[in-house]
Chain A
Amino acid sequence: MSEGDRLHVVTADNISPARRMAGHLMIWGSLGVLALVALAQAAQTWGGSDFGFRNWRPTLYAYLLFSVCLCWAQVMLKGETGKRILFVLPAALFVVSLTVFPLLFGVLIALSDWNLSAPDGRKFNGMANIVQMWNDPFYWNALENMVWYCLAILPEYVLAFGLALMLNADIRARKFFRVAFLLPLMLSPVAVSWMIGKSMLVIQPAGPVIRLAKWLGYPNPSFFSDPLTAKITIMLMDAWTFVPFMMIMILAGLQAIPKELQEAARVDGATGWRAFWEVTFPLMLPVSITALLIRLIFKLKLADVIINVTSGGPGGATDSVTSFIFREYRDRSNVGYGTLLAMVYLVIIVLVMTVLMKFADKALRPRT
């Protein structure tokens, strides 16, 4: 246990048998309470006996009690080592109980026919949802849209790099520009989608962007009626919010490059474009890959803007997977099918991210 610790702690733990006993008693006792409460509730729900529970809260409380006892018992049982475990255990318990359990539960839901507005509850229906998904053109369409949305990250990255270079240049009022460039990231996507997506882009004679487009010579600009323009507009709005994110990461990377390197390059005769392309850009590769991966993770969650501005229209042209599943639930209360779609999405994401991270790892490894 202690091998490889960065911080060595010499401890002389003297744990008496009574203390050990108490520790074990806490764990098993609280686990027993949890099992008892859960059984009683299960009996009421499915067995017909009545203990007067109105919801599953008592089981939740018993689970909380068990978690606290488990943490405490670590110290009782293992002394100093237990105190170290106590640093990580609460967070680990929290994450496990809030993701692993719902995910397992989600698999169960995904394989059943369950419409929350229908009276007859959950029915196991095996592969039927998968067959339905396979034949659902709108889901495939949403997945295809996600590919386009993700490809839009590359131009965003170029823009972010350009902005970061400008901020890193020798300019006045740097702080003003930095704050101004950062602000879009702070704004609520819902407010953005109403005030930009609707107010500036949709109100026919008055929207500023509409008028700008007219002034530029488009006779009848409308941004959300044609599938391609609608998709591009959504991409632009999303980019507007998230370009600052990549910009800040790249800026931090630029500032971490030692000045000597660029000076050395200049002495060697590299100027302007070549200095950037052959010195700065390669040095920025690790930061760039991190920024791109994180941006991709956020992009895969894209939904708020779409739900609020187009709700997937016209004809599903702007739908992302998340907004599609959101409507699947909101309009049809179809929990079972929606969960299956989400699970499939998760599997695809995990596969893609694993492959990408492998490539990133390879690209980052120092070449010999």
Chain B
Amino acid sequence: MTTSAQLFRDGDTDLAFKARWWTSRVLLYGALILWAFVCLFPIYWTITTSFKAAKDVTQGTMVPWLDFQPKWLGWKSLGLSPETITQVSTVRDEFLRRFFNSAVISVSSSILAVALGSLAAYGLSRFSYRFLWMKNSDISFFFLSQLILPPVVLALPFLVLYKELDLLDNRIGLIALYTLSVLPIVIWIMRDQFEGIPTELEEAAMVDGLSIWGAFLTIILPIALPGMVAALILSLVLTWNEYFFAALLTSTYANTLPVMVASQTGSQGISWWSMAALSFAAILPLIVIGVALERYIIKGMASGAVK
């Protein structure tokens, strides 16, 4: 009795194709996982380091509970561990003040930038202006050209100017500067948004008796809201992380979180556990935003790219 030949089976070309498909899959996922590891490992390293003691830091242990016993050392030095959270802690007050400064400055400058930028972008997308020799395209270019202005050019004049205006080490001063620095990006994103909205909407609204500002506020803004959220989040990311101006223009009162992180070098070297805890606290809000609102960030960055 002969072994019954399989009636239906893949031909040689099909088998070769299948093998190729499998190798390409393995390579693809391998590359994806490798890069995901490269992206995520530093975050993991930051979190675990904040739970290490001095011995574990010098040994470079990796896996909690297996390699080392996690301790609250880093968080205790910030006054944020379970035992110390109820006690009075000057470090915690300091940290919370910096955190609050960062939050106030980044949120208010982002909102201001989105408000100013949306208005300007709407105007530029709907009407033609003429100011001296400048037409619409020139005005747009004027706004967007601010993007190539490196911060270092403005930094020292602002330092002197703010000194005279008593705005050094002042939140308002930083808010104005941060608004300026994200305004071009907001205008860029929002102009794209408004140009995608048909003008018939406002025309209909104005036939119904709304003024131009009424039409803008009640009809157009709600439609453009996702774009505004995207612009707002992108501005938040940029302003929350800003270090250069904050380091130059603040000293004690209006310090932001990045400045506090950068000035952690003590006299006995760096205590890595508290540095890690502080760094993690500084990046946590944006990680949350990034995971939760990734859609908007991508939308914001994509809007300028794809016409």
**A and B are interacting partners:** yes
Interface residues of A (CB under 8 A from B): 1-9, 54-57, 60, 80, 83-88, 90-92, 94-95, 98-99, 102-103, 105-106, 109, 116, 162-163, 166, 169, 171, 175-192, 194-196, 198-200, 203, 205-208, 211, 240, 244-245, 248-253, 256, 286-287, 290-291, 294, 297, 300-301, 303-304, 307-308, 321-322, 325-326, 329-330, 335, 338-339, 342-343, 345-346, 349-350, 353
Q: Is the CB of A106 within 8 A of B153?
A: yes
Q: Is B39 an interface residue (CB 8 A)?
A: yes
Q: Is the CB of A106 within 8 A of B156?
A: yes
- Quick one: closest B residue to A352, CB to CB? B148
Q: How many residues does chain B have at the interface if contact means C-beta atoms less than 8 Å apart?
A: 104
Q: Is the CB of A185 within 8 A of B157?
A: no
Q: Is the CB of A194 within 8 A of B279?
A: yes
Contact of B244 among A87, A94, A185, A303 (CB under 8 A): A303
Contact of B304 among A57, A191, A290, A350 (CB under 8 A): A290
Q: Is the CB of B139 within 8 A of A182?
A: no
Give me the 8 closest cross-chain CB pairs, A-B, nearest first. A206-B60, A87-B123, A252-B302, A91-B120, A191-B279, A106-B157, A55-B166, A249-B305
Q: Is B96 an interface residue (CB 8 A)?
A: no
Q: Is the CB of B287 within 8 A of A186?
A: yes
Provide 25 A-B residue pairs closer than 8 Å at the C-beta atoms, listed in order of the A residue.
A83-B211, A84-B127, A87-B216, A95-B180, A103-B153, A105-B160, A106-B153, A106-B156, A109-B157, A109-B160, A116-B160, A182-B294, A183-B287, A183-B291, A184-B39, A190-B258, A191-B279, A194-B262, A203-B58, A205-B60, A211-B60, A249-B304, A249-B305, A342-B150, A349-B150
Q: Is the CB of B282 within 8 A of A191?
A: yes
A14, B290: Cα distance in complex, Å: 52
Q: Is the CB of A88 within 8 A of B123?
A: yes
Q: Is the CB of B152 within 8 A of A195?
A: no
Q: Is the CB of A185 within 8 A of B237?
A: yes
Nearest-Cβ distance from residue B25 to partner chain A, whole angstroms: 9
Q: Is B199 an interface residue (CB 8 A)?
A: yes
Q: Is B16 an interface residue (CB 8 A)?
A: no
Beyond A9-B206, A349-B150, whether A207 also contacts B157 by CB under 8 A is: no
- Residues of chain A within 8 A (CB-CB) of B301 are 245, 248-249, 252
- Residues of chain A within 8 A (CB-CB) of B203 are 7-8
A338, B298: Cα distance in complex, Å: 37
Q: Is the CB of A109 within 8 A of B156?
A: yes
Nearest-Cβ distance from residue A344 to partner chain B, whole angstroms: 10
Q: Is the CB of A346 within 8 A of B150?
A: yes
Chain A CB within 10 Å, residue with most, of B157, B244, B279: B157
Q: Is the CB of B150 within 8 A of A195?
A: no
Q: Is the CB of B57 within 8 A of A206?
A: yes
**Interfacial residues of chain B within 54-73, with CB under 8 A of chain A in the complex:** 57-60, 62
Q: Is the CB of B143 within 8 A of A91?
A: yes
- Residues of chain A within 8 A (CB-CB) of B78 are none
Q: Is B227 an interface residue (CB 8 A)?
A: no
- Quick one: closest A residue to B117, CB to CB? A91
A63, B42: Cα distance in complex, Å: 47
A338, B49: Cα distance in complex, Å: 38
- Residues of chain B within 8 A (CB-CB) of A338 are 156
- Residues of chain B within 8 A (CB-CB) of A103 are 153-154, 157
- Residues of chain A within 8 A (CB-CB) of B38 are 240
- Residues of chain A within 8 A (CB-CB) of B275 are 194-195, 199
Beyond A83-B213, A179-B294, A252-B298, whether A90 also contacts B157 by CB under 8 A is: no
Contact of B128 among A3, A208, A290, A350 (CB under 8 A): A3
- Quick one: closest B residue to A181, CB to CB? B39
Q: Is the CB of A166 within 8 A of B28?
A: yes
Name which of B2-10, B29-37, B81-89 contacts chain A: B29-37
A195, B212: Cα distance in complex, Å: 51
Beyond A98-B176, A291-B305, whether A182 also contacts B258 by CB under 8 A is: no
